[in-house]
Structure 1
Amino acid sequence: MYSYKLKKSGLRTQVCIDINHMVLFVSKSAPCKDHNDGSMMVEMGLANKIHEMDCVGVDGGYTQHIPTLLEREDSLDVRNFCFPIRKKPGQDLDEHEALFNSEFAGFRSMIEATFGDLGVQPHHMAWAEDGFDYPRKKAILVQSQVATVQNRLESGAELLRLQEEFLGMDLSDEDDMI
């Protein structure tokens, strides 16, 4: 499962997130050594997950895999994908193309930030610890030090407090909801 990017074992997972940071669907995880992002996108059955009017934003590395995907998925078209505009050799992007790429990069940064937020929690980064091995069938993932009984009790108490606060809200007045 070696990842050349991480210089150690790794799994790759494709995630589709909408503009509201909602995860729409996730691919099955696969060993990095046997799968790249583009081949996983081709294999994940995108046509079954999106509507013909949807547009999926992908970075420039995926564009070489779109023709293969379109050969497999009759209901999809190149219009279902949005990606950065590539600069032609010796020719700068015009003002509108540069603006598009800048705004698209902002969208991509938002997605990366979502995963950065996940990485803040130590148990989400267990895979990066020395000696970590991915769980096998019926093996239990060793919890990081964060998952102590005391931490779980405190988390449960906090969730209970938030639920009680929510249940105590007066939601009958629409102005309060806005």
Structure 2
Amino acid sequence: MFLNMKIYDKMDNNNVMAMDGGYTLFINKFIELSKLKNKEFENNNFVFPICKDNKIKLTEPEKHFNNVFGSFRSKIENQFAELACLLKNITKFVELFNIPILPHHKLWEIENFEFPSEKNLIDIVITNEE
């Protein structure tokens, strides 16, 4: 899944991606695929928990890094949980109060949709006028 997301199209070579330990198995393949797209990435573009073989203890700085990294990941996971609850509540209110779903509510479902940024591809102005 990580490779199918084509993150090299969304990343700059100055970016650093925080990843779970399982994804480290795909970093070399990611770098290889990105080179085919004329994008240059290195191992320095990725950060992940420090893992060692069983019975080899982490040093204090390594433990500290893993603790800080783990709390960073927990914050992100918490934000996704809050977002999921918000979206679920919106869905419930739409159904409960028969709120009509207007075309601009579903723009994000369109293929190749880009979320608004400073460089909008389309300008959408919503008014109460007909």
Question: TM tier, shorter chain?
Answer: 0.5 to 0.7
Structure 1: segments with no counterpart, 5+ residues: 1-39, 125-142, 154-178
- The gaps in structure 2 that reach 5 residues or longer are 101-130
- CA drift at 1:97: 0.3
Q: Select the structure that is richer in strand.
A: 1
**2:3 counterpart residue number:** 42
Instruction: Quickly say closer, same or farther: Cα 1:144–1:47, change in 2 above 3 A.
Output: closer
Q: 2:70 aligns with which of 101, 105, 116?
A: 105
Q: Scaled by the length of structure 2, what TM-score is found?
A: 0.64
Is the aligned partner of 1:58 residue 2:38?
no
**Aligned residues with identical type, % of pairs:** 31
Cα separation, partners in 2 of 1:73 and 1:92, compared to 1, 3 Å: same
**Residues 122 and 146, structure 1, Cα contact 8 Å, conserved in 2:** no
Counterpart position of 1:157: none
RMSD of aligned Cα (Å):
2.4
Contact 1:54 1:80 in 2 (8 A): yes
CA distance in 2, matches of 1:94, 1:76: 29
Residue in structure 1 matching 2:52, options 62, 77, 87? 87
Alignment-mate amino acid for residue 65 of structure 2: F
Question: CA separation of 1:144/1:55 partners in 2, compared to 1, >3 Å: closer, same or farther?
Answer: closer
Superposed structure 1 runs of 4+ greater than 4 Å apart: none
The 3-state SS of whatever aligns with 2:3 is: helix
Q: Give aligned pairs, total.
A: 96
Measure how far apart 1:115 and its partner are.
1.1
Greater RCO, CA 8 A, separation 6+: 2
Quote the residue 1:147 is aligned against: 94
Correspondences of 1:2-13 after superposition (within 5 Å): none
- Which residue pairs with 1:121 in the alignment? 86
2:106 aligned partner: none
**C-alpha distance 46-103 of structure 1, shift in aligned 2 (>3 A):** same
Between the aligned partners of 1:66 and 1:43, the Cα distance in structure 2 is 13
